[in-house]
Amino acid sequence: MAVSVADNPVLHIERLGKRFGSLRAVDELSLEVRAGEFVVLLGPNGAGKTTLFQMLTGLFAPDHGTALIAGNDIRRHGTAALAALGVVFQQPTADRDRSVLANLRFHARLHGMPASRRETRIAEALDAVGLTDRARDRLGTLSGGNQRRVEVARALLHEPKLLLMDEASVGLDPASRADLLQRVLDQCRHRGLACLWATHLVDEASEADRVVVMDAGRIIADASPERLQDQARSTTLADAFIALTRDKPAMRMSA
């Protein structure tokens, strides 16, 4: 049964900014993502997508602005915000020397999941990504696509309200990319999970509820894929993206 998009935003970002020296990596960025919504953050390399995710996960502090995850301010209530967040980073972050099961158990315990619930949730998460039969295998023996699926299972384990996918499909073959995308979409459609999926691959945006185009640290468009094409007067989403980012603004440098 499909879940409808809720009114209250799971992610609320207002005028968030981060600068490195004179470079404004994220510039006055405001954005909302609601429960059940699958939002693609589309931008070329260097647009500031990863910097935004680093701030949302508490790895870097914003210079200004606010970000709330499930109503928790990432600065003032960082641990509560992180508890509501599942993340798949651009670079692999799993222990390749340990089994799939050991990796998931490690994560479950870091999130304080009760022992009685832990094994059930691990079984459910592995089932959701179709890797039940590989649970006892060493992670390093799995293909790149399956390792990514383990990271998705891990990100979903503690039942987050918001899933951040930071170019998680990079390096995967087309079939694995499509599979990963579909599994995450299922979680949004059927579980009410909010997802912010960062990518520079336009084809991953076609099924999104909204496409947020980011360039040079700023949001330059935010609409459904169809509306985005209309706005850019393009016949395909790829053309719309190129049209929107063609006159790429120079990286914003502070005076």
Partner 1 sequence: MSPSHTLQAFAAISAREFERFVHQRGRLLSSLVRPLLWLAVFAAGFQNVFGVSIVPPYQTYVTYQVYVLPGLAGMILLFQGMQSSLSMVYDREMGMMRLLLTAPLPRWYLLLAKLTAGTLLSTAQVYGFLLVAWLLGVSFPALGWLTILPALVLGGLMLGALGLLLSVYIRQLENFAGTMNFVIFPMFFMSSALYPLWRLQESAAEPVYQLATFNPFTQVVELIRFAAYGQVNEVAVAAVLGWLVIFFATAVWGYDPQRGLMRRVRPAA
Span of 40-48, 138-146, 223-231, 235-243 interacting with partner 1 by CB under 8 A? 40-48
236 Cβ partners below 8 Å, 6+ apart? 229
At residue 225, what are phi and psi to the nearest 5 degrees? -55, -40
Rounded to a whole number of angstroms, the minimum distance from the CB of residue 229 to partner 1 is 26
Residue from 34, 105, 134, 149 in contact with partner 1 (CB under 8 A)? 105
User: Any contact of residue 190 with partner 1 (CB under 8 A)?
Assistant: no
**The two three-digit tokens of residue 238, written as one number:** 């790829």
Distance CA 91, CA 60 (A): 16
User: Any contact of residue 98 with partner 1 (CB under 8 A)?
Assistant: yes
Distance CA 184, CA 197 (A): 9
User: Any contact of residue 116 with partner 1 (CB under 8 A)?
Assistant: no
User: Any contact of residue 96 with partner 1 (CB under 8 A)?
Assistant: yes
Which 1-20 positions form the footprint of partner 1 (CB under 8 A)? 20
User: Any contact of residue 253 with partner 1 (CB under 8 A)?
Assistant: no
Whose tokens are 């981060």? That residue is 18
Beta strand pairing status for 162-166 and 194-199? parallel
Residue from 4, 8, 76, 110 in contact with partner 1 (CB under 8 A)? 110
For partner 1, the closer of residues 195 and 232 by Cβ is 195
User: Any contact of residue 218 with partner 1 (CB under 8 A)?
Assistant: no
Distance CA 245, CA 85 (A): 30
User: Any contact of residue 106 with partner 1 (CB under 8 A)?
Assistant: yes
Sheet containing 210-215: order of strands: 85-88, 162-166, 194-199, 38-42, 210-215, 218-223
Distance of CA 174 to the CA centre of its chain: 19
Residues 44-63 vs partner 1: string with x where CB under 8 A?
-xxxxxxx--x--xxxxx--
Q: In DSSP terms, which residues pair with 23 in a beta bridge?
A: 20, 253
Residue from 66, 90, 132, 234 in contact with partner 1 (CB under 8 A)? 90
Q: Which residues bind partner 1 (CB under 8 A)?
A: 20, 25, 45-51, 54, 57-61, 75, 79-80, 82-83, 85, 87, 89-98, 105-107, 109-114
